[in-house]
Chains A and B, each alone.
Chain A
Amino acid sequence: MNNLVILPVIIPVMAGLVMVIFRKNIRLHRSVGVLALFALIVVSFLLIFQIKSNGIQTLQAGGWRAPYGISFVADMFAALLLLSTGMVTLCCLLYAFPSIGREREEHYFHPLFLFLIAGVNGSFLTGDLFHLFVCFEVMLISSYVLISLGGSKVQLQESLKYILVNVVSSSLFLVAVAYVYALTGTLNLAHLSVVVAKLGQNGLMTTVALLFLLVFSIKAALFLFFWLPESYSAPPTAIAAVFAALLTKVGIYTIFRMFTLIFYHEPQITHQVIGIFGAVTMVLGAIGAVAFSDIKKILTYNVIVGAGFIIAGLASFTADGITGSVFYFVHDIMVKALIFLLGGAIIQLTGTSKWNEVSGLIRNHPYLGWMFFIAALALAGIPPLSGFLGKIFITKGTFQAEYYWLGAIGLVTSLMVLYSMMKVFMNVFWGETTLSREMEKGTTKGLLLPIGGLTAVSVMLGVGAEGILPYVRLAADSLIVPAQYIEAVLGLGEA
């Protein structure tokens, strides 16, 4: 029992509710938002250290013992993601201050932003399948409003499709939940793991597992990513960056949970399908990233490639592969938000999102240029930066599992990602300066601070990898050995 576990959900909800009361007071909204996110970061640090010394932390809501009540569980994997969420959302919020516009701020941007974070954190922490659905909906409904907030034509058009896709996939999620309940009679993740292990993962169970995979693949933009590029190009930069960094990641997180904790008995079926999904996602995403001339489109397709690559580590189902995935997961959250913010800053400056209509920005904006360069290298996994270690471990894992094709596709698509980013960098920042200071459509004033912050975090993740690795290994351990999780929740011995 540890009440700290529920704080990452409670803090943003409470802060958001306070904001709703004082609608016109933007200064209050801003300060409460920043304070809440700072509190989140502090809580995640505390959780990480507690888990490191005392093992997995749990909270049984209302004191109802595990299989009957709703459990909140914070293992190292969840805690690391909480910390990354806190850092990324803080940077995106700081980026939103000068860029989002007063109109949106007065129409509940800040509370919705915090409710979205509450949903994301809830999904990371929950230990119950139906509660996971509820947290998903909290997150999705906030995202429906955020994506359409402002009501420009393109936003309305894309939000209709976005909502439709998500409503249908949520229905399928519930169908899968109903089947699981009929088969096992429980919805608590730890208890499910025990029951599935006892009953054996027969054909019916595997089918349900694949239905779950389908549902979460839609949410995670894995293989079924047809909805993503258009929807993520529609909202303003700060919102799109949070979506790119977090929403798809929640889907990937749940795939990890389900297929390491519960449905791990038939890896030759489920994990092979996951591997194929990952490979197809990487290839199609990389082709998209190379093909488009619109910066926003290139970035959204990079989100898709990232999803495929993280999943490749899970498909390998080896200690190294999972370690790599956890590391790459944290890196991907940071760097996806970073490139979206950078892309947004470029578009704000130039007023166009086509990379072939701009050149020579680096003369007037050296910091922006070099940070874009660093982000591009980190994204592709060039050695001293953050993507490198994750890529090494995932590739090693896939080779150990003899999924050579999967590892090879991962490496080739990394090259294509690097090409797509370098194409943007060389065209936008190098060459003749066509845009003088007077002709610029906007300013980067206030935008460079959050971008710089994220760049620093990304560099630190790479340079300080040695210090972070023990935590990542701990997270991977708790994923590979489900007994730890089960024991912490069902509490053998502890009441």
Chain B
Amino acid sequence: METLMSLLVGLFFTIGTYLILSKHVLRIILGTSIITHGVHLLILTMGGLKNGGPPLLGESFAAFTDSLPQALILTSIVINFAVTALFLVLSYQAYQKLGTVDMEKLRGTCDE
């Protein structure tokens, strides 16, 4: 299971990297989002999959799943959500002001 998950994480990173290397700002933002999801899966995998019951007191399981990775992922999802939203708004603002979302055209110094 862990091997399968690792391959999936690799796939996410590949897609994300490909998107980030493209010219369109929207694709780049989607790329960062996909990479972050890959990272979340990685944290889950690194914490170990399926080795115990839900981490609730009072339940009679021999072993509990480690709940820390899930807490980390939850926090990270919230942060990623905020950053992606901000990034999208900024790219829209940039499109309105600069008239382009092509990274090639956003190089160098532009005149005020």
A174 with B83: in contact, given A156-B98, A160-B106 (CB under 8 Å)?
no
| Cβ B46 vs Cβ A178 within 8 A | yes
Contact of B43 among A148, A167, A174 (CB under 8 A): A174
Bound-state Cα–Cα, A224 to B98, Å: 28
Residue numbers in B under 8 Å from A187 (CB-CB): 68
B86 sits at the interface (CB 8 A): yes
Cβ of B112 to closest chain A Cβ, rounded Å:
6
Given contacts A137-B79, A164-B32, contact A153 B97 (CB under 8 A): yes
Whether the Cβ atoms of A144 and B91 lie closer than 8 Å is no
Interface check B1, CB cutoff 8 A? no
Assess whether A156 is in contact with B36, with CB atoms less than 8 Å apart.
Answer: no
Interface residue B11 (Cβ < 8 Å from any Cβ of A) = no
Interface positions, chain A 160-190, Cβ under 8 Å from B, are 160-161, 163-164, 167-168, 171, 174-175, 177-179, 181-182, 187
> A174 touching B94 by the CB < 8 A rule?
no
B106/A178 in contact, CB under 8 A: no
In the complex, per-residue mask of B73-112: 1 if CB is within 8 Å of any chain A CB, else 0: 0011001001100110011011001100000001001111
Q: In the complex the two chains form, is A154's CB within 8 Å of B112's CB?
A: yes
**Distance (Å) between the CB of A60 and the closest chain B CB?**
17
Query: CB-nearest residue of chain B relative to A134?
Result: B75
Contacts of B97 in A (CB 8 A): 151, 153, 156
A231 CB within 8 Å of chain B: no
In the complex, per-residue mask of B24-57: 1 if CB is within 8 Å of any chain A CB, else 0: 0100100010011011001101110000000000
Answer whether residue A352 sits at the interface, using C-beta atoms and an 8 A cutoff.
no
A137-B79, A178-B43 in contact; A159/B98 too (CB < 8 A)?
no
- A-B contact number at CB 8 A: 89
Other-chain residue from B28, B98, B112 in contact with A164 (beta carbon distance below 8 A) = B28
The complex places the Cα of A134 from the Cα of B87 at a distance, in Å, of 18
Q: What residues of A have a CB within 8 angstroms of the CB of B28 in the complex? A: 164
Complex-state Cα separation, A133 to B86, whole angstroms: 18
Given A148-B90, A157-B106, A168-B20: A163 and B83 interface contact (C-beta under 8 Å): yes
Query: Does any Cβ of A come within 8 Å of B7's Cβ?
Result: no
Q: Kindly state whether residue A31 has any CB partner on chain B within 8 Å.
A: no
A141 at interface by CB-CB < 8 Å: yes
Q: Which residues of B contact A195 (CB under 8 A)?
A: none
Contact A163 B112 (CB under 8 A): no
Q: How many angstroms between the C-alpha atoms of A160 and B23 in the bound complex? A: 13
Closest to B32 in A: A167
- Shortest Cβ distance from A180 into B: residue: B46
| B68 contacts across to A, CB distance below 8 A | 181, 187
Residue of A nearest to B38 (CB): A171
CB distance from B27 to the nearest CB of A (A): 12
The answer to whether B90 touches A141 (Cβ under 8 A) is no
Tell me, yes or no, whether B72 is within 8 Å of chain A by CB: yes
The answer to whether A399 has its CB under 8 Å from any CB of chain B is no
Contact between chains at A171 and B46 (CB < 8 Å): no
Chain B neighbourhood of A159, CB < 8 A: 90, 94
**22 A-B Cβ contacts within 8 A?**
A134-B75, A144-B86, A153-B98, A153-B111, A156-B98, A157-B98, A157-B110, A159-B94, A160-B25, A160-B106, A163-B83, A163-B86, A164-B20, A164-B28, A164-B32, A167-B36, A167-B83, A174-B76, A178-B39, A178-B45, A181-B47, A187-B68
* B residues lining the A interface (CB < 8 Å): 20, 25, 28, 32, 35-36, 38-39, 42-43, 45-47, 68-69, 72, 75-76, 79, 82-83, 86-87, 90-91, 93-94, 97-98, 106, 109-112
Q: Apart from A157-B94, A178-B69, what 20 extra A-B contacts exist at CB < 8 Å?
A: A130-B72, A133-B76, A137-B83, A153-B97, A153-B110, A156-B90, A156-B94, A157-B98, A157-B110, A160-B90, A163-B86, A167-B87, A171-B38, A177-B72, A178-B43, A178-B45, A179-B46, A181-B46, A181-B47, A181-B72
User: A residues near B, CB below 8 A?
Assistant: 130, 133-134, 137, 141, 144-145, 148, 151-154, 156-157, 159-161, 163-164, 167-168, 171, 174-175, 177-179, 181-182, 187
Which 4 A-B residue pairs are closest in the complex by CB-CB distance? A182-B46, A156-B94, A178-B46, A178-B43
